Structure 1
Amino acid sequence: MKKEQFTKKIHNFGDGNVSYIEWNDESELPGFQFSHATGFNSLTYRKLLEPLSNEFHIRAIDARGHGFTETDAIPKKMYDWVVYRDDLIRSVENFVKEKGEPIILGGHSMGGATIMQVAASRPELVSGLVLIEPVLIPKFNLNLIKLGRKFPAFKFLSLIKEATSRADSTLKRRREFPNKEMIKKSYKGRGAFTTWVDGFLDDYIDGGTKTEGDCHILTCHPEWEAATFSSWKHNAMESIKKISCPITLLQGEIGSTTQEPGIKLLKLRDPNGTFKIINNSSHFLPMEYPEIVQKEIIKIKNRI
């Protein structure tokens, strides 16, 4: 696969600048738009997307509160991922208008859940879905998250503590660093970054930090990231019954966030779809096995 250089761009939909990266902006190749996971940014996935630039006209958007997008992101008002869905619909509408045809959407984690809601709400915009570890949480678990968010005193209960642990640990994350080298040293080989192949962490840092005074800071504020994790009103499973396009679902073998009955429901929507668990992979499989994900993205294009 050849590699084209991406271009950094800004688009204002009326409530602030939305940042994105793009490959092949003047080509007649089919459109493919990618949505990142909570706390990450579009540039994080450069090594996944760039090799696909001979197959697609590609865009990857920084979600609200992430990367270099400058729309309002108020943690106390974040209870529902519908804001991510609505933001994404506007950018997809714009892309589809330029292409003159529906486009394929890909997304990781929160991004995967969000593109499902776009496909359910606006099916005429979407020709196919590549779902990589989409967050599909049973209603019972969402209710536990709700209790933990609204009544922190209940977190002594083990089920609620477990349901809210990711948000709680995010709130403790350091945001300011003296330089990028220190950020990399703090993250490399640790936590979520343990299994990433070379290059992804550097792109995550480049796409998700900025200089402020004498410091380098994370552009996704830990409070916004935690509020996203602890949102309970979203339910991507409810959107599945309205999805009508081809589906590819890629799951991690270890610690998957894609839970039943979501998988069974997706298979009912597309009996001929691709549903794979990637051996030895985790929730971060795009950063662990990018070549496998690339092949599946090309396959769905050829199936449409």
Structure 2
Amino acid sequence: MTSPEYREFELDDGVMSARVWPRAGAPVMVFAHANGFCASAYGRILGQLADRFEIVAPDLRGHGRSRLPTDPETHRSWDIHAADLRALYARLPQAPDLLAGHSMGAVSTLLAASKMDTCPVLALVEPVVLPLSFSLFARWPWHNPLKGRFGLAKQARRRVNGWPDRAGATERYRRHKTFASWAPGVLEDYLADGLVEDANGVHLACDPQWEAANYESQGHDVLRAARVVGSRAHVLRAGRGSTVVNRAGLERRGVTIEGIDGVGHLAPMEAPQRVAAWIAGIAGIADTARG
């Protein structure tokens, strides 16, 4: 199996880091991660796809090894992540043949693709697609109406963010019930770049304030993007606790939705082999489209 390497891409306001599985002459896939995570968390999936793609998995703004400025107080939508992805696509030697992502990364990928002159096939795992009324409410022009109201954001702000060493942090995460259902090795993959060492020990690469702001910043227009992309978008929806709430809205815009039973929103962490197999199937559709 090909091992990933790190590459850095200069954007207008900083550096985006990416894990890259190089494969000269192969089609290119770009995969974007979920809020609070980083590219390293998806190694069990992406490694399985490295025999057919050159894979570029960036750390989004405020995550992992990327060095891009963040301002939780003014953050209003995931359009900023979409803009970063478009900037990344433009800096690749070869245009992407398949765009993929999970949760916030899936939505950001959809938003980015909707503004591309030539849109490739999209494989989107558990994008956050809320009811239309909720999305309209979130786009209130004068202030962020979700600030302080989102349970996940409140939870993120209470998150412990500092340990004496990496081993202690890892052990604490292993004991947490959230990670009990994760496949072997995924937690360690995530913490590889999800933790940052400094003079005082280790802390989270994604600051909890930024993670919380991402949860609350729902001012982007997912359905407009879906209307533009249409049938080129394919969605994998979890069997329980799915964030694809407005399924009908996506389907009316031509998006194909498939289900994955027995897992929740963090399906890539719980069932990496099944998610990788689904992406491989969508890659076959992309191959046909290119042919």
Task: Verify same fold: TM over 0.5.
Answer: yes
**Cα offset, 1:10, TM superposition:** 1.1
Give distance in 1, aligned partners of 2:202 and 2:63: 15
1:46-125 equivalences in 2 (<5 Å):
46-95=43-92, 98-99=93-94, 101-124=95-118
* Cα-to-partner distance string for 1:70-111 (whole Å, 9 max, x where unaligned): 11011112111111010010111222xx22x44211110001
1:143-222 equivalences in 2 (<5 Å):
150=145, 161=149, 164-188=150-174, 190-222=176-208
* Cα-to-partner distance string for 1:51-75 (whole Å, 9 max, x where unaligned): 1110101000000000011110111
| Alignment RMSD | 2.1
Give distance in 2, aligned partners of 1:265 and 1:223: 31
Partner of 2:268: 286
Partner of 2:242: 256
- 1 or 2, which has the higher helix percentage? 1
Give distance in 2, aligned partners of 1:296 and 1:121: 25
In the alignment, structure 1 segments of 5+ residues that lack a partner are 156-160
In structure 2, do the counterparts of structure 1 residues 189 and 134 end up closer, same or farther at CA, with 3 Å as the change threshold? farther
Give distance in 1, aligned partners of 2:171 and 2:280: 35
Task: Count residues with an aligned counterpart.
Answer: 284
Give distance in 2, aligned partners of 1:39 and 1:206: 14
Contact 2:161 2:203 survives alignment (8 Å) = yes
Partner of 2:2: 4
Give distance in 1, aligned partners of 2:58 and 2:237: 22
Contact 1:189 1:195 survives alignment (8 Å) = no
Give distance in 2, aligned partners of 1:266 and 1:53: 30
Give distance in 2, aligned partners of 1:231 and 1:252: 23
Contact 1:48 1:286 survives alignment (8 Å) = yes
Structure 2 residue 290 is the aligned partner of structure 1 residue 296? no
Partner of 1:13: 11
Contact 1:104 1:128 survives alignment (8 Å) = yes
SS at match of 1:224: helix
Contact 2:138 2:146 survives alignment (8 Å) = no
Contact 1:139 1:235 survives alignment (8 Å) = no
Give distance in 1, aligned partners of 2:82 and 2:67: 17
In the alignment, structure 2 segments of 5+ residues that lack a partner are 287-291
Give distance in 2, aligned partners of 1:133 and 1:9: 27
Give distance in 1, aligned partners of 2:40 and 2:190: 6
Return the letter of the residue paired with 2:240: I
Structure 2 residue 264 is the aligned partner of structure 1 residue 267? no
